[in-house]
Structure 1
Amino acid sequence: MHRSRRQDRKLDLAARAAWLYYVAGNTQDQIAEKLNVSRQAAQRLISTAVSSKLIKFRLDHPLAAGMALAEALRARFDLFYCDVVPTDSAAADPTPAIAIAAAELLERLLLQEAPTVLAFSTGRTLRAMAGELPQVAAPQHKLASLIGAITRDGRAGGFEVVMRLAERTGAQCFPMPTPVVASSPAERELLQMQHSFQVILELAQTAQAAFLGIGEIAWNAPIHRDGFVTDQEITDLVDRGAVGELAGWAFDSHGRLIEGGTNALVAGIPLSKLKAERAIAVGGGPRKVTAIRAALRGRLVAGLITDEATARAVLAGG
């Protein structure tokens, strides 16, 4: 991340702290929890907002709308973490801005001295997040992948995340040694009997945070376009009422996992093994609105990093 961009993000974080303190009436302890920083850091952020003249009679910063949307989402869906970045009207894809926000949160987690476990799915948004993360020396931490990054025939998907993050941090890396979807339930059972899978399963269950890319279920959706599921399988999922997927697991508009279909073949970590209250969906854009709303409704995740346009659409749908 360029220095000026990092400075902008620091100012953005100060603006969020100021909005929570002066407008939403949060205490410094509450701000620290919502922004995932220490109480001392929250104090410094509020001071930065004041010294940078962000505070007048109103918050004089373009992130005010996003912060209000984040608070609305937090209240509507009982989220432990929510970050809504501005939507760039000149950009068709909000992924770059979302990736920067996710990288900022990840950097704060990696800067913790106490050893911790962080878990990740795969995909374009999380890959972009990894690209935005600066070099951070974090050899004490463990990074675990929740899902494989290869097809049934062994072809690489190109959007693996934990190895890229390990290169930037020196953290211990645990990539998933399975395809996204197995050829049969028997093959999935055999793959999950591997010692390496069991190690990752144990790590995932203790993860402080899980970053999950979220995708739609539709013809030519990423999971279909990238060859992880077949034409017949994506059609079957749509027929079963699936609208979205997290780490390969398909769910319906109420956030309920689909019974059967490819969910009987997903070779990654079951969502039920994660701490839902520490799972963060990362993504945005018109095609993902229904999936994000459903995941929040079903409490499959309790955190969200998205953009303003997506946040408004999610809230408008109830």
Structure 2
Amino acid sequence: MSRADPEPTLQDEAARAGWLYYVGGLTQDQIASELGVSRQRAQRLVSRAMADGLIQVRLNHRIGACLDLEAALRDRFRLTRCRVVPGLGPGADPVRAIAPAAAAELERFLRMPDPLVIGLGTGRAMRGMVDAMGPMDAPQHRLVSLIGNIAPDGSASFFDVVMRIADKVRAPHYPMPVPVISPTPAEKEAFHALAPVRKVAELARAADVIFVGVGQMGGDAPLLADGFVTAAELTQMVTAGAAGEVAGWVFDSQGQYLNLGTNDRTGGVRVEPELDRPSIGVAAGASKVPAILGALKSRILNGLITDEATAAALLSKS
């Protein structure tokens, strides 16, 4: 539902200017160009954002346009949680925009007094979320990885986040001690037959809340860039309709998991559609739109943290 007054308020403008200056690192000339105002007005808006307490480390004001997009996404995809943040402009890394909002959302759960099992995916957006978090004590919760933490060369996966979060929040944590993708289905089954792996997998399946990144399946696919799949495997899956992946599990444009490619060798635990608990995607960027859209359609994700441009693209294509 749209707000009665769609015009940005002075606080809207100040919040956006402050976001671009303190988070996006834009100069006042660049902010003036981005907002279509004079340099003097851009300077005043940035000053007002700080003076009014709208900008600290994170944005403390929900810009009206973002609220409208959140409402539209919630209605369209039946989302339980949705945060849309201002974009940082063309060419900027969208992870820088969404990471503070994702951190705030995760911290909201970590502050809950009753014990939770929090399932975590991997990837650049997830790592950005962790980097944006402040230290806190949350020993009542358990953190569990949904995806393997072993890279093809035997090293620890670079974007694994469970131990990085645990170090910040002092919570018990359970990494998934298997390859992200095993060489053969038999090897995957052998890993998952081990008692410690079974226990971690059972804990992951029982997670009370899930946070995951979303990977695209084009030439810039994270699975390809990180060496988890070959170009031939990626081409095979794209030809079969692959649109995206969550926690290493590949799905098509409707969010249906494929019964081919690397899915029979993927370690960890698959995020099932239509969960009755929060399953929150942290993702933004034009290349990720088809993947995010598929995951929303099947409700692999029932929550989303993204930026304005991505939110608008999702609504225009759905």
Q: Above 0.5 in TM-score?
A: yes
Aligned partner of residue 173 in structure 2, secondary structure: strand
- The separation in 2 between residues aligned to 1:240 and 1:105, in whole angstroms, is 35
Which residue is equivalent to 1:128?
A: 128
Deviations 1:158-212 (A, max 9, x none): 1110000010011001011011101111111111112222222222232221001
Contact 2:120–2:143, Cα closer than 8 Å, also in 1: yes
Q: What is the CA–CA distance in structure 1 between the aligned matches of 2:157 and 2:171, rounded to whole Å?
A: 23
How far 1:276 moved relative to its partner? Answer: 5.9
- Distance verdict in 2 for CA 1:93–1:53, change over 3 Å: closer
CA–CA separation in structure 1 for the residues paired with 2:119 and 2:126: 11
Is contact 1:236-1:261 (8 Å) kept?
yes
**Which residue number in structure 1 is paired with residue 24 of structure 2?**
none
Q: State how far apart, in whole Å, the 1-side matches of 2:202 and 2:53 are.
A: 47
Query: 1:260 — aligned with what?
Result: 260
> Match of 1:201?
201
The answer for the alignment partner of 2:111 in structure 1 is 111
Residue 151 of structure 1 and its aligned partner are, at CA, apart by: 2.2
Q: Give the conservation status (yes or no) of the 8 Å contact 1:122–1:149.
A: no
Change in Cα spacing, 1:53 to 1:234, as seen in structure 2 (3 Å) is closer
Q: Do the aligned residues in 2 keep the contact of 1:98 with 1:305 (CA within 8 Å)?
A: yes
Q: Distance in 1 between matches of 2:247 and 2:84?
A: 22
Name the TM-score, length of structure 2 as normaliser: 0.79
Unaligned runs of 5+ in 1: 1-10, 16-51, 55-60
- The answer for the alignment partner of 2:5 in structure 1 is none
Q: Who is 1:151 aligned against? A: 151
User: Which residue is equivalent to 2:36?
Assistant: none
The residue that corresponds to 2:305 in the other structure is 305
Supply the AA of the counterpart residue of 1:220: D
Matching residue of 2:217: 217
Give me the whole-angstrom Cα distance separating, in 1, the residues matched to 2:107 and 2:91.
Answer: 25
- Are residues 1:161 and 2:161 paired? yes
Q: Following the alignment from structure 2 to structure 1, what is the Cα–Cα distance between the partners of residues 299 and 288?
A: 16
Q: CA deviation at 1:233?
A: 1.1
Give the whole-Å Cα distance in 1 for the aligned partners of 2:295 and 2:188: 25
Please identify, of 71-80 and 186-195, the stretch whose mean Cα deviation from structure 2 is larger.
Answer: 186-195
Does the Cα contact within 8 Å between 1:124 and 1:159 map onto a contact in 2? yes
- Cα deviation, residue 261, structure 1: 0.8
- Aligned residue pairs: how many? 264
Corresponding residue number in structure 2 for 1:41: none
Amino acid at match of 1:199: K
Paired residues of 2:274 and 2:302 also in contact (CA < 8 A): no
- Partner SS for 1:138: coil
Which residue does 2:35 correspond to in 1?
A: none
**Alpha-carbon distance change, 201 to 53 in structure 1, aligned in 2, over 3 angstroms:** closer
Whether the aligned pair in 1 keeps the contact of 2:140 and 2:171 (CA below 8 Å) is yes
Q: What's the CA shift for 1:113?
A: 1.5
- Contact between 1:204 and 1:274, CA under 8 Å: does it hold in 2? no
Aligned residue for 2:272, secondary structure, equals helix
Q: Secondary structure at the match of 1:178?
A: strand
Q: Can you give the 5+ residue segments of structure 2 that lack an aligned partner in the other structure? A: 1-10, 16-51, 55-60
Q: Which stretch has the larger CA shift, 280-289 or 263-272? A: 263-272
Q: Decide whether the 8 Å contact of 1:150 with 1:228 is kept in 2.
A: no
Q: 1:205 to 1:273 in 2, by over 3 A?
A: farther
Q: Cα offset for 1:111? A: 1.1
User: After TM superposition, where is structure 1 displaced by more than 6 Å over at least 4 residues in a row?
Assistant: none
Query: 2:64 matched to which residue of 1?
Result: 64
Give CA deviations for 1:99-147 in whole Å, capped at 9, x if unaligned. Answer: 1101001111111121111010110110011111100111111000000
Residue 290 (structure 1) aligned with residue 290 (structure 2) = yes
* Alignment map for 1:18-57 (pairs within 5 Å): none
Query: What residue is the counterpart of 1:142 in the other structure?
Result: 142
Residue aligning to 2:84: 84
More displaced, 84-93 or 128-137? 84-93
Q: Relative to structure 1, is the Cα distance of residues 273 and 285 closer, same or farther in structure 2, using a 3 angstrom cutoff? A: closer
The 2-side partners of 1:145 and 1:274 are apart by 20
RMSD: 2.1
Letter in 2 for 1:233: E
What SS does the corresponding residue of 2:118 show, helix, strand or coil?
A: strand
